[in-house]
């Protein structure tokens, strides 16, 4: 396709369009992205320092603790960057597909959420920076951080609840205007994501508000460690789906437009997201397989439920391949695999997430291994697990977020995705994949050799076991260094596209895939959220009642606060 | 409301949505694979009694644990019949005792607790991998088949000395 005149490379794949975000929505979305990139920088700086320290390449100055950095890395990336970026991205698609803009009230909720999330994050960062919260992003009791830390995280979560009100409001606004119709797919999937988020965050909010904050303020002496951990992991597994689902949204909805194809099905993806609501929460015990105080039987029940959550990912894999194949064939691809060559690999908005999709194969397989009950003992708390989530979150999801950024920033700012920026973006994505292959690959291997995760540099007294780990540590250091270069390049490109790229005469199109009009209409029951929330709650009650009840009927003595750093 | 799952004329419809043929084959492949995995792990769990570490006993308040039996005297205790109790304490930042001597091939029953924060015990080269929670006793049964000197390390972050927390296991 010819580049539209004076509109930059970005117009070549999907063209330009008259749609542009209203100024109020633009500011709201940009605010979220901006703080997200700040958290990304903070987390990445911590990460590169960590990887060089724990592989023995550098020594940190005494003012910086390894575990302090690790806490910053986890909180900054896994909690702050992700939440802010996801909300910004969902707002953008919801605004576009519910008539082109959010309402004033929806924006007000959005801003309230933003302020709470930013203030909360800054409080958390501050307490970590003062070394009062070196408790890692899982903040397991009875390690006791400063109350500022817990208040900060509570603010982050409460803010995200406000953000979810924006999305629910937009959905209801659209439904009032289109009674009886199935909602646009982007809105539908955003609503599903936030329903799952709101239900799962209840666990961590209860933990923080009722167990940890009173205890950290000294109002209460002891904390029930098992109860606090179980509440956390009730939240903690669905958290990873909160990261994944927005990436799925981009794959399901935006990418089909980029490949000049159609959304393969308007119906089954909705079922996919319903299945995620149902099966991503009553599974948290699979993070607690090796713990005392929880019945083995219920750990196994949650293993079964965990396997169920693999099914919507199978469905997604099929839908994506079908979309690619049909698009490739319609563009002239012949024979069994000719369609593969017809995909827009030269467009970073497609290529980066596509690489993420490829990496999701080993990522998902690793996840099934982790969930396999007895097999978990081989990998628990080893670097294998770290390797795993650097594939799922830090590759599949983050590469997709890179692609979203290259798409969204030009649309928001009216600047061009220039040919040069696109090419550098491709290089940046490839650097990321190379770095991650070294680092995550080495982590998987050395994890099987027993090297633990979340641990500073050690040779365990020059033990023979630790000697085996040395070559893998070298690979991890190389990989981590390459990744940091990739991150710096990404942030420089973001800065360029946001402030410096030449203005375009017409904004790039915000690509939203179309559904084939002859497609079967989705059954309205999928839009009746109350039913599915009910089923989700039923499954949570089934999976968690006995484990929680046992903690109240036969409670363990609580633990006193510990500050061991 | 349509039936949830309808199989007719070789087709499959879920909640009234058609599932294309190739997708159906793919999903059956996936579901059957998962079922096989579940049957295998379930058999291992409920017939062979192979479970990850567990434990339902509670302790006295954690800070009193070191003064209370059996944790006031950690060590390896023979039970007869080639079975041993290994009473272990995981605390910041060491294990008590610092060296365990265990006969090769014996069945070992770990009983572990912590007087302070959460710890983890892992022995690289074996399947020993358990969490230690203050207030709880972790039970795990294992048999060291190969003689040798093993490293026992803490694999759950417990503070600034986490990475030097280690012990030695001599299997003879």
Closest CB from B18, B122, B135 relative to A559: B135
Contact B113, B136 (CB under 8 A): yes
Question: pLDDT tens, position by position, for chain A (565 residues)?
Answer: 445 555 667 665 667 777 889 999 999 999 999 999 999 999 999 999 999 999 999 999 988 999 999 999 999 999 999 999 999 999 999 999 999 999 999 999 999 999 999 999 999 999 999 999 999 999 999 999 999 999 999 999 999 999 999 999 999 999 999 998 899 999 999 999 999 999 999 999 999 999 999 999 999 999 999 999 999 999 999 999 999 999 999 999 999 999 999 998 999 999 999 999 999 999 999 999 999 999 999 999 999 999 999 999 999 999 999 999 999 999 999 999 999 999 999 999 999 999 999 999 999 999 999 999 999 999 999 999 999 999 999 999 999 999 999 999 999 999 999 999 999 999 999 999 999 999 999 999 999 999 999 999 999 999 999 999 999 999 999 999 999 999 999 999 999 999 999 999 887 899 999 988 778 889 989 999 999 999 999 999 999 999 999 999 999 999 999 999 9
The whole-model pTM stands at 0.96
Prior bond of A142 cis (ω within 30°): yes
Contact B147, B129 (CB under 8 A): no
Residue A380 a catalytic site member: no
To which H or E segment does residue A515 belong?
strand A514-515
Number of H helices, E strands in chain A: 20, 2
Query: Among residues of chain B, what percentage have pLDDT more than 90?
Result: 88
Summarised one tens digit per residue, pLDDT across range A187-209 is 999 999 999 999 999 999 999 99
B157 to A554: CB separation less than 8 angstroms, yes or no: no
Closest CB from A310, A375, A557 relative to B60: A557
CA distance A29 to chain B (A): 35
A471: CB partners within 8 A, 6+ apart: none
State residue B14's pLDDT score: 80
Please give the class, per CATH, of domain B62-171: mainly beta
Summarised one tens digit per residue, pLDDT across range A224-264 is 999 999 999 999 999 999 999 999 999 999 999 999 999 98
Residue A349 has which token pair? 């908005």
A67 to B157: CB separation less than 8 angstroms, yes or no: yes
The catalytic position among A241, A250, A273, A402 is A241
CA distance B36 to chain A (A): 11
State residue A263's pLDDT score: 92
Task: List C-alpha distances in Å: A84 to A34, A120, A123, A365.
Answer: 9, 12, 15, 28
Instruction: Delimit the domains of chain A by residue range.
Output: 19-181
Query: Among residues of chain B, what percentage have pLDDT more than 70?
Result: 93
Q: Which residue has the tokens 């017809």?
A: A342
Query: Which of helix, strand or coil describes residue A458?
Result: coil
State residue A194's pLDDT score: 98
Closest CB from B17, B20, B124 relative to A271: B17
Nearest to A159 by CA among A116, A193, A202, A217: A116
Residue A241 a catalytic site member: yes
Average pLDDT, stretch B76-93? 97
Task: List C-alpha distances in Å: A175 to A87, A93, A489, A502, A529.
Answer: 21, 16, 42, 39, 12
Residue A264 has which token pair? 């393969």
B80: CB partners within 8 A, 6+ apart: none
Closest CB from A140, A292, A466 relative to B136: A292
CA distance A379 to chain B (A): 9
State the Cα angle at A345 between B19 and B30, rounded to 5°: 30
Prior bond of A174 cis (ω within 30°): no
Residue A453 a catalytic site member: yes
Average pLDDT, stretch B100-105? 96
What ipTM goes with this model?
A: 0.94
State residue B11's pLDDT score: 62
Residue A20 a catalytic site member: no
State residue A3's pLDDT score: 53
The catalytic position among A237, A257, A270, A286 is A237
CA distance A243 to chain B (A): 23
State residue A13's pLDDT score: 62
Count Cβ atoms within 10 A of the Cβ of residue B4 and give its class: 0-12 exposed, 13-18 middle, 19 or more buried.
exposed
Residue A389 a catalytic site member: yes
- E strands, chain B, are 5-8, 11-14, 17-18, 75-80, 83-91, 94-96, 99-102, 107-113, 119-122, 129-132, 138-143, 148-154, 166-171
State residue B10's pLDDT score: 56
User: Count of CB contacts below 8 A, A vs B?
Assistant: 224
State residue A403's pLDDT score: 98
- Measured between beta carbons, which residues in chain A are less than 8 angstroms from residue B136? 225-226, 291-293, 556
- Measured between beta carbons, which residues in chain B are less than 8 angstroms from residue A376? 52
Instruction: Delimit the domains of chain B by residue range.
Output: 5-46, 62-171
Contact A303, A232 (CB under 8 A): no
Q: Which residue has the tokens 């703080």?
A: A35
């Amino acid at each position: 396709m010819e580049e539209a005149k004076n509109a930059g490379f970005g117009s070549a794949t999907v063209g330009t369009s008259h749609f542009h975000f209203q100024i109020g929505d633009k500011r709201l979305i940009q605010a979220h992205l901006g703080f997200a990139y700040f958290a990304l920088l903070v987390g990445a700086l911590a990460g590169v320092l960590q990887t060089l320290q724990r592989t023995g390449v550098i020594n940190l100055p005494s003012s910086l603790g390894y575990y302090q950095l690790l806490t910053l890395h986890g909180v900054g990336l896994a909690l702050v960057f992700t939440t802010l970026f996801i909300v910004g991205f969902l707002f953008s698609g919801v605004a576009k597909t519910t008539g082109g803009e959010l309402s004033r009230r929806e924006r007000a909720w959005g801003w309230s959420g933003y302020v709470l999330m930013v203030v909360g994050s800054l409080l958390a960062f501050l307490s970590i920076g003062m070394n009062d919260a070196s408790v890692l992003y899982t903040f397991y009791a009875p390690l006791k951080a400063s109350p500022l830390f817990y208040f900060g995280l509570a603010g982050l979560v409460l803010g995200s609840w406000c953000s979810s009100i924006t999305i629910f409001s937009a959905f209801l606004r659209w439904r009032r205007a289109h009674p009886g119709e199935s909602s646009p797919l982007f809105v539908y999937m955003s609503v599903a994501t936030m329903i799952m988020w709101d239900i799962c965050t209840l666990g961590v909010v209860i933990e923080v508000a009722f167990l940890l904050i009173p205890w950290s303020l000294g109002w209460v002496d002891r904390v029930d460690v098992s109860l606090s951990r179980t509440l956390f992991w009730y939240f903690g597994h669905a958290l990873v789906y909160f990261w994944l689902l927005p990436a799925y949204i981009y794959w399901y909805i935006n990418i089909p437009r980029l490949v000049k194809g159609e959304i393969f099905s308007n119906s089954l993806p909705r079922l996919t997201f319903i299945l995620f609501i149902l099966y991503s929460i009553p599974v948290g015990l699979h993070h607690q397989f090796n713990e005392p105080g929880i019945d083995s039987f219920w750990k196994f029940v949650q293993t079964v439920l965990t396997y169920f959550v693999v099914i919507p990912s199978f469905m997604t894999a099929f839908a994506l391949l079908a979309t690619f194949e049909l698009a490739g064939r319609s563009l002239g691809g012949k024979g069994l695999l000719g369609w593969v060559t017809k995909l827009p690999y030269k467009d970073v908005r497609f290529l980066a997430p596509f690489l993420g999709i490829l990496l999701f194969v080993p990522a998902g397989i690793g996840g099934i291994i982790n969930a396999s009950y007895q097999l978990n003992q081989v990998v628990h708390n080893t670097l294998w697990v770290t390797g795993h989530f650097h594939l799922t979150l830090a590759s599949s999801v983050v590469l997709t977020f890179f692609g979203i950024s290259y798409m969204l920033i030009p649309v928001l700012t009216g600047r061009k995705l220039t040919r040069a920026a696109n090419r550098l973006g491709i290089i940046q994505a490839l650097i990321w994949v190379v770095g991650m292959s070294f680092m995550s690959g080495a982590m998987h291997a050395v994890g099987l050799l027993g090297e633990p995760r979340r641990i500073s540099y050690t040779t365990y007294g020059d033990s023979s076991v630790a000697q085996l780990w040395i070559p893998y540590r070298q690979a991890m250091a190389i990989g981590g260094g390459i990744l940091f270069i990739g991150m710096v390049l990404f942030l420089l490109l973001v800065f360029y596209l946001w402030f410096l790229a030449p203005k375009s005469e017409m904004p790039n199109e915000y690509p939203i895939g179309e559904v084939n009009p002859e497609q079967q209409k989705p059954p309205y029951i999928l839009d009746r959220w109350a039913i599915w929330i009910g089923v989700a709650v039923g499954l949570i009650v089934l999976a968690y009642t006995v484990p929680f009840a046992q903690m109240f009927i036969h409670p363990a003595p609580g633990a006193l606060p510990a500050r061991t750093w | 409301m349509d039936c949830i799952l309808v199989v007719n004329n070789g087709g499959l419809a879920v909640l009234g949505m058609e599932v294309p043929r190739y997708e159906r084959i793919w999903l059956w492949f996936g579901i059957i694979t998962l079922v096989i995995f579940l049957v295998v792990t379930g058999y291992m769990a409920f017939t062979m009694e192979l479970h990850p570490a567990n434990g339902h006993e509670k302790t006295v308040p954690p800070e009193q644990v070191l003064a209370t039996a059996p944790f006031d005297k950690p060590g390896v205790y023979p039970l007869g019949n080639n079975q041993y109790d290994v009473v272990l304490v995981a605390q910041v930042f060491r294990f008590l005792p610092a060296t365990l001597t265990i006969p090769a091939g014996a069945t070992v029953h770990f009983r572990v607790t912590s007087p302070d924060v959460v710890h983890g015990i892992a022995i690289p080269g074996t399947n020993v991998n358990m969490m230690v929670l203050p207030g709880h006793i972790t039970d795990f049964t294992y048999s060291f088949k190969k003689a040798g000197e093993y490293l026992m390390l803490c694999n759950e972050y417990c503070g600034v000395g986490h990475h030097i927390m280690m012990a030695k296991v001599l299997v003879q």
